[in-house]
Structure formats: C-alpha cells, structure tokens
Amino acid sequence: MQYYEDIEVGDTAEFGEYHVTKEEIVDFAERYDPQPFHTDEEAAEDSAFGELVASGWHTASMCMRMLVDGPLQERAGMGARGVDELRWKQPVRPGDTLSIRSEVIDKRVSESDPKRGYVDSFLEGRTQDGDVVISWIGLGMIERRNPGEE
Amino acid sequence: MQYYEDIEVGDTAEFGEYHVTKEEIVDFAERYDPQPFHTDEEAAEDSAFGELVASGWHTASMCMRMLVDGPLQERAGMGARGVDELRWKQPVRPGDTLSIRSEVIDKRVSESDPKRGYVDSFLEGRTQDGDVVISWIGLGMIERRNPGEE
C-alpha cells in the first residue's frame, strides 16, 4: 500500500485503456447530458462537432474508472478535495481508446489533521493517437504512514 | 433565445429537482467509480462515510442534467471551455433531492472570435435541506446576437 511518504513531486505514471463506444456515449448522455450532439448521430452531423461526441462529464467519468482500476488500487486514499482547471480540449469520439498520464505537482501535510496528506496531480486523458482530450488538477488526500514525523 | 447580450454579471437563478436513488448511485458507480462506499451498502457502513454515498462525478453529472433541462434550454450556448474550482463539499445520499443555484460572475467577448461570448458562472448543488454538496465555476461560451457591436 502506498502512503503519503511514498509519493514524490515529479512522480509520473501512465495507465488505463478505455474503449469508447457509440452505445455508451448515447447511454450516458440520455441520462445526464441529453444534448443532440451527444445522443443523436444524425443531429450531431449538423452540429458544430460534425459527429457524435461524448459528454465532457462522461469523459471525466471514464477517466475516473481508469484511476480506480489503476493507481487508486494501491493507494491509502482518503478521497478527493476537488478538482481545479478541468478542461475539455478535444472531443471524444466512438472508437477512441483513452488512457491517462499523471504527474504529482505538489504535496503537503494537512494543517488541521496530521494523519492526512494532500497530494495534487496534473492529469491528462489522451486518445490512442496521443491527442489530449481532457486535463485537470486532482486534489487528493492520502494517509500518512508516520503521522508523528515531520 | 438568450444571447450574450441578454446576460448580466450578478444574474442569479435557482432551478432543478433531481431525486437521488440508491439504485442510481450504485449503477453509476459500478460503471465509473467502483469504490465500495459507492457500490456496496454494507461496505459503506464500515467506511469513513458510514453509509452509501454518490460518486462525486455522479453528483456533477446529475447537476449537468439539471442544467440541460433548465437554463441551457433557452440559451444560444456553444459548449463549455471547462470548469474551475470543482469542490465536493458534502456527501450525496440516497433519498436526497438536489437543485442548483447559479450566479453569473464574469462576461467578456472572445478576443479570437467576435461571434463568441465567454460567460463564467458560480454554481452550487444543494440538497432539500439547503446543504451545499458541490460547487464549481462553469466557463461557458454563448453566441453574441450582434457580433459587430462592442
């Protein structure tokens, strides 16, 4: 299990392999983001996108799945404080395969709770062609192995 | 239809009514965020949350649905540039009913495309008791009615 002390600023990782299907794009969007360019292939052709594309929240959710199946498995995580600078950079299309690159950009011990470490990471979701489709800064919390030490 | 010129900094709105069920919490989490406190009622009782709670990305997605069914219906929207300062402030539980409060905090014309207006809003998702469960700054784009004018 990975604790706060095991993580260093500058650590990078690449992980995940998420195959995006038309059915899943439409399924998510019908429930959470029913705009025509997410739910209707023909209407999407007449939209600014020119084709069916995934909801931005769907893209974020698919990335979450890769995090849960990936690095979070091994981590003494305590949940997330939030997300900064979430950006949708390019559309995600049916047939894309997504993966993630992450880099730790900051770490510090919580001032209010010495058992708790804060770890901030910059994350990018990419297609099989290396195009960045989404990026964000994840504000994570992780247990300290040795809360008594500085 | 509402264009850039129709929106003023300081405009507020309250809208939406989303009933959160246990089934939907589990359904979303099994696909996108399969951590035990989102997918397994018994395991959740032993977690830091003490009960089953919604994935943060699920909460954001439910809010997106209220936006699509609400103010986005009437707006000449051009999609979102991104989200800043997304924060999960309290857990969302089965039986909660969510709604949204929004306030426009900034607007300006795109420097690269005079047909395009940028409108930034601070949004809060709240429970039936008025507790804020999520907040974020939405970075929206909206058509100008009169692109030639300043």
> What is the C-alpha to C-alpha distance for residues B20 and B92, in angstroms, rounded to an integer?
8
- DSSP E strand stretches across chain A: 12-19, 77-88, 97-109, 116-126, 132-143
pLDDT tens for B29-38 read 999 999 999 9
Tell me the pTM.
Answer: 0.95
Nearest residue of chain A to residue B83 (CA atoms): A86
Q: What is the pLDDT of residues B94-128, one digit of tens each?
A: 999 999 999 999 999 999 999 999 999 999 999 99
Interface A-B, measured as beta-carbon pairs within 8 A, has a size of 76
Whether residue B81 lies within 8 A of chain A, CB to CB, comes out as yes
Residues of A in contact with B28 (CB under 8 A): 61
Cα distance between residue B62 and residue B64, in whole Å: 5
Q: How far is A91 from chain B (nearest CA, A)?
A: 11
ipTM of the complex in this document = 0.95
Paired residues of A12 in beta bridges: A103
Contacts of A81 in chain B (CB under 8 A): 87-88
The yes-or-no verdict on residue A142 having pLDDT over 90 is yes
Interchain CB distance below 8 Å, A35 and B61? no
The domains found in chain B, sorted by start residue, are: 4-143 (3.10.129.10)
* Chain A residues within 8 A of B83 when measuring between CB atoms: 83, 86
Cα of A111 vs its chain's centroid, Å: 27
Summarised one tens digit per residue, pLDDT across range A18-69 is 999 999 999 999 999 999 999 999 999 998 889 999 999 999 999 999 999 9
Of the candidates A57, A86, A87, the beta carbon closest to that of B61 is on: A57
What the block records as the tokens of B24 is: 């939907």
Judged by CB atoms closer than 8 Å, whether chains meet at B84 and A79 is answered as no
